[in-house]
Amino acid sequence: MTKREKDCGTFKSTIMKTTNIKNRREIRLILIALCVFISIALHAQSKHQLLRSGDASYSAGEYSKAEEAYRKAIEKEGKSQAKYNLGNSLYEQERYDEALEQYQSAINSAPNNESKSQAYHNLGNSLFNDQKLKESMEAYKQALRYRPDDLETKHNLSYTKQILKQQQQQKKQEQQKEEESEKEQENQEEQQQEGEESEEEQEKKDQKPQEQNQEQNQEQQNEVNNESESESTKEKRDLDKEDARKLLEIAENEEKKVQKKMRKVSRGKKRKKDW
């Protein structure tokens, strides 16, 4: 038997002993109604106790314990306040995606504009911390629809706009730098290509005079060689003429010597007279 059933039984016995009412049927109905009332009261008390326990843990910075208490309270009765508080405990644990779900659920079951505004405000905070700035701005705008004079929400909306603008400008600057870097790289490649082509053309230009010089040198060398050959041939011819002349002189001298000897011999002989 649960505690709730024990209380009902005790109350029932007390009434049965102290009453002299003859109509037991009416008494039973009254007892049943009282037990139901007590059960509801105990149930509500348990839910509120869980909420108070969660609030105490949250205030003490024990967010995990607060989360546990709020989840139990939601199981008993899933009202907006418990979901909102659970979202706060998840937010403090930096579990922003889970907090978003609880805030959205709290918005859907919020009993009044004040509760909706608070849930939208914290929904915007979770989206901001999750780097979803555009969605965060929309949540803040919704919060201001239900509570237009909320200065904190106005401040958060203005700050989020500023951060988003800075990010967009930074992204634009980075994109421009990237484009400039790509353009500079292309220019360097073009300059390098032009430089290589220029060097190649210069090499060709430099090579032409060298080839011409080589041809001229070769022609000059050929001329020198031809002149040398001509002189050598001429000298050879001159030598041949000189040798022939000398041989001729020798031959003539020899012939003169022979003739001279013959003359001497012819002088020495006496001719016989023919008688």
Q: Indicate if the pLDDT at residue 101 is higher than 70.
A: yes
What is the three-state SS of 31-91? HHHHHHHHHHHHHHHHHHHHHHHHHHHHHCCCHHHHHHHHHHHHHHCCCHHHHHHHHHHHH
- Dump pLDDT digits (tens) for 230-267: 666 655 565 566 776 777 788 777 777 777 776 665 55
* Amino acid letter for position 89: S
Instruction: Quote the CA–CA distance of 50 and 53 in Å, as a whole number.
Output: 5
The span from the CA of 3 to the CA of 150, in Å, is: 46
Which helix (DSSP H) or strand (DSSP E) does residue 124 occupy?
helix 113-129
Residue 69 contacts residue 57 (beta carbons within 8 Å) = yes
Mean pLDDT along residues 106-126: 95
Task: Kindly state the tokens that stand for 17.
Answer: 């002993």
Instruction: Return the closest-CA partner of residue 125 out of 150, 99, 107, 164.
Output: 99
Phi then psi dihedrals of residue 2, to 5 deg:
-80, 170
Contact at 8 Å (CB) between 15 and 49? no
To the question of pTM greater than 0.85 for the whole model, the response is: no
More confident residue, 202 or 138: 138
Q: What percent of the chain has pLDDT over 70?
A: 67
DSSP 159-192: HHHHHHHHHHHHHHHHHHHHHHHHHHHHHHHHHH
Q: Is it the case that residue 64 has pLDDT exceeding 80?
A: yes
Q: Which token pair is 51?
A: 């909420």
pLDDT class for 170, splitting at 50, 70, 90? very high
